[in-house]
Chains A and B, each alone.
Chain A
Amino acid sequence: MSRLPVKKTYKLFIGGAFPRSESGRTFVVDGQNVALASRKDARDAVRAARGAFARWSGATAYNRGQVLYRLAEMMEARAADLAAVSGGRDEVERSIDRVVWYAGWADKLAQALGGANAVAGPYFNFTIPEPTGVVATLAPDEPPLEGLVSRILPALVSGNAVVAVASESSPLAAIELAEAAATSDMPGGALNILTGRKAELAPILAGHADVNAIDLTGANGDVAELERLAAGNVKRIVRGMPAGESLWEIEPLVEMKTVWHPVGV
């Protein structure tokens, strides 16, 4: 006997919840109605990210690593669903392995990127990496899942809170990923995902005064204008590998903090 399947509604991922666009707009991709995020959705996502930043960055590195590893576990469980809306099984496996690879960096960044500094005086002086803050990420259009994972994991692993704009041509993989993230113990708001038009959303995020860095790897069109907007609050501008893994993808999204203390009796 045939059964009518229950189909999914593809919505945004903001503050750990799955709202529709406040604008009520959708666009059609592969026969699915996908939320078309608005300016207000983007601002709500930034606010959610800012709200989650203290908790996510304040977690121990070990804890953050475990949460990201759990994201990989949740993706593995959804591998078939992810494959159906991305480039397929190979892309999903690469993506899961990439999440695991980055998860393992969480408690090693301080040693890899920081250190003690031999200053000429009676002071103890050390430098440690800290997350930059709220990072806006324009994910590459292709590959839709691996591209998104490759850009958001380097930001998340150090404790940044992320607002990502999904692949415009293939946004369904991003929402599948959001559903995995929602069950990964990541605090709501640490990762937010918008689907919609980059031409509409990118300038809003580039010009937003509470976004500390913007990843333009997946930007389409006029990057110069986005960079001009980013200068409004001295945003860090990042471009990296659309699909790859490296410690040097993490480094542009951390700040180096140096602490001095006198040595004496």
Chain B
Amino acid sequence: MAELEPRTDGGLEWTYAPAPESRAIVSFEERYGLYIGGETIEPRSGEWFTSISPASEEPLAEVAQAGPEDVDAAVGAARSGFAAWSELRPAERAKYLFRIARIIQERSRELAVAESLDGGKPIKESRDVDLPLAAAHFFYHAGWADKLEYAFPNRRPQPLGVAAQIIPWNFPLLMLAWKVAPALACGNSVVLKPAETTPLTALLFADVCRQAELPAGAVNIITGDGSTGAELVRHAGIDKVAFTGSTEVGKAIQRELAGRGVPHTLELGGKAANIVFEDCALDQAIEGIVNGIYFNQGHVCCAGSRLLVQESILEPLLGKLRNRLSTLRLGDPLDKNTDIGAINSRAQLDRITELVASGEAEGAELYQPACELPERGFWFPPTVFTNVAQSFRIAQEEIFGPVLSVMTFRTPAEAVDKANNTAYGLSAGVWTEKGSRILWMADRLRAGVVWANTFNRFDPASPFGGYKESGFGREGGRHGLEAYLRFEG
């Protein structure tokens, strides 16, 4: 594990002792087949790939690479599963979802450790954010299952059918919950394709479904790379596509679905502005900035990756930010003191490295705290760019890593213009102690979520989703249900 310089407080030199969470609570199988029709089956493709820990590059388990025949089998099983699931009394569907929520809570630590092993995120995040929210999503949507006619009075809501759901690697189990819980609550069946680099918690979720005695075929899970997802979207037997991932792939999915009449919701990239006014509570804002961009290594679509600082407080803010960065601990994701874990994959590390190099080449000034990186695995230190122009790639493109681009503004109107000056529109942050200014800014920011004096808060009751090229549709709340229903009234 990487050690920081020893710290000195009151003349005493000290350092953190390792505080690893035990991984004994998880035992991965050597190999995971596909979860189709309530059974685990070998892939007809005959192909397998290995899921590794990005922190150590050790292999964790072999996973099936679903091919076209496997996708077809999964959609077929979901079709049969839909008939049974949609005909259940809604109150019974609700109880299955409550069961799933409870089992996730019971197995929460195991799933958190698995998530950190497979994805590289710090255990304190998987334990305190991903898992509680995943359970909460099932609990919340369970209650909707038999109340849909109250959510949509006089509209006679009906399920769509087979929902094809493709999720990313940054919050594997939480994104599964965001997709599966509303789909099932509305009476749909699901074919879920987890991300190539983080399939393991989805496969553990298959076991959660078994424990909950979920009717066969209501949830089907197929693993694989992008080709599996593409095959699923192409399949003629799906009734709905829900995708979370990059804007590039989202556009490809929208093109593929053109003219097919398959409803779809897309939750895509972002380049959020986190806007800090001179009258903010600065120490709170610093915590919000750090949380905004270094939470989950910056692998967050709504990350506050552009920091807009009112010019008058730039220097004091940067001083405090540098101090705060020097206290961040990077290393073993299973260490309970770790703030920044591993980058999810070598491919993502390469992308971050390339974009950071472009920032330096375009003339931005790079700052990284003293930070020793482990020798094995994929790592990137917390990074701050100053002297950034709006046209730089690091100010326009989603980096999806622990890289913050700092820009300045003088007036609220200038802050709004700069904040809105991207093709994205997923989220934004505002830091000021003046209430009227918060609401004025919130009105003008073209983003689906505005966090004022906070950042990166999520809740199943709170709709989440983007404007512009950050996608369409909402997840969470009453609004999120609409993505999984059609209306006869």
Point out residues on A near B: beta carbons under 8 Å. 115, 117-121, 123, 125, 127, 132-133, 212, 222-228, 230-234, 236, 248, 255-262
Contacts and interface: CB of A to CB of B under 8 A. Distances in A.
Max chain A Cβ within 10 angstroms of own Cβ: one of B438, B470, B479? B479
B341 interface: no
A132 B469 CA distance: 12
B375 to A, nearest CB: 39
B472 interface: yes
Given A234-B251, A257-B467, 13 more contacts: A119-B457, A119-B461, A123-B457, A125-B462, A234-B254, A234-B468, A234-B472, A256-B448, A256-B463, A258-B464, A259-B450, A261-B453, A262-B454
Contact of B457 (A228, A230, A260): A260
Contacts of B454: 123, 260-262
Nearest to B133: A120
Contacts of B136: 120
B472 A256 contact: no
Contacts of B467: 132-133, 255, 257
A257 B448 contact: yes
B367 interface: no
Contacts of A127: 462-463, 477, 479
B340 interface: no
Interface of B: 136, 155, 247, 250-252, 254-255, 257-260, 266, 268, 423, 438, 442, 446-454, 457, 459, 461-465, 467-472, 474, 477-479, 487
Max chain B Cβ within 10 angstroms of own Cβ: one of A223, A258, A261, A262? A258
A81 B132 CA distance: 64
Nearest to B439: A259
Contacts of A257: 442, 447-450, 467
A230 B136 CA distance: 36
Contacts of B468: 133, 212, 233-234
Contacts of A118: 461
10 nearest A-B residue pairs (beta carbon): A224-B259, A227-B258, A231-B254, A119-B459, A228-B258, A231-B255, A261-B452, A117-B461, A234-B469, A259-B450
B472 A236 contact: yes
Contacts of B247: 234
Q: Interface SS of chain B: helix, strand, loop or mixed?
A: mixed
Contacts of B449: 257-260
B463 to A, nearest CB: 5
Given A123-B457, A261-B454, A233 B469 contact: yes
A232 B251 contact: yes
Given A256-B474, A257-B450, A117 B463 contact: yes
A260 B474 CA distance: 16
Contacts of A125: 459, 461-462
Nearest to A229: B258
A163 B470 CA distance: 23
Given A120-B136, A231-B258, A234-B268, A259 B452 contact: yes
Contacts of A132: 467
B448 A258 contact: yes
17 contacts: A125-B462, A133-B446, A222-B259, A228-B258, A231-B254, A231-B258, A233-B469, A234-B251, A234-B266, A234-B268, A256-B463, A257-B447, A257-B450, A257-B467, A258-B450, A260-B451, A260-B454
Contacts of A234: 247, 250-251, 254, 266, 268, 468-472
A261 B468 CA distance: 24
B462 A258 contact: yes
A255 B468 CA distance: 9
A88 to B, nearest CB: 31
Contacts of B260: 224
Contacts of B478: 115
A223 B258 CA distance: 8
A194 to B, nearest CB: 23
Nearest to A231: B254
A123 to B, nearest CB: 6
A40 to B, nearest CB: 24
A247 to B, nearest CB: 10
Nearest to B447: A257
Nearest to A264: B453
A248 B487 contact: yes
A61 B447 CA distance: 20
A117 B448 contact: no
Contacts of A232: 251
B453 A119 contact: no
B461 A261 contact: no
Contacts of A222: 259
A118 B460 CA distance: 9
A120 B438 contact: no
Given A120-B136, A228-B255, A256 B452 contact: no
A23 to B, nearest CB: 29
B258 A225 contact: yes
Nearest to B480: A256
Nearest to B459: A119
Max chain B Cβ within 10 angstroms of own Cβ: one of A117, A236, A260, A262? A260
B256 to A, nearest CB: 9
B6 to A, nearest CB: 35
Contacts of B463: 117, 127, 256, 258
Nearest to B450: A259
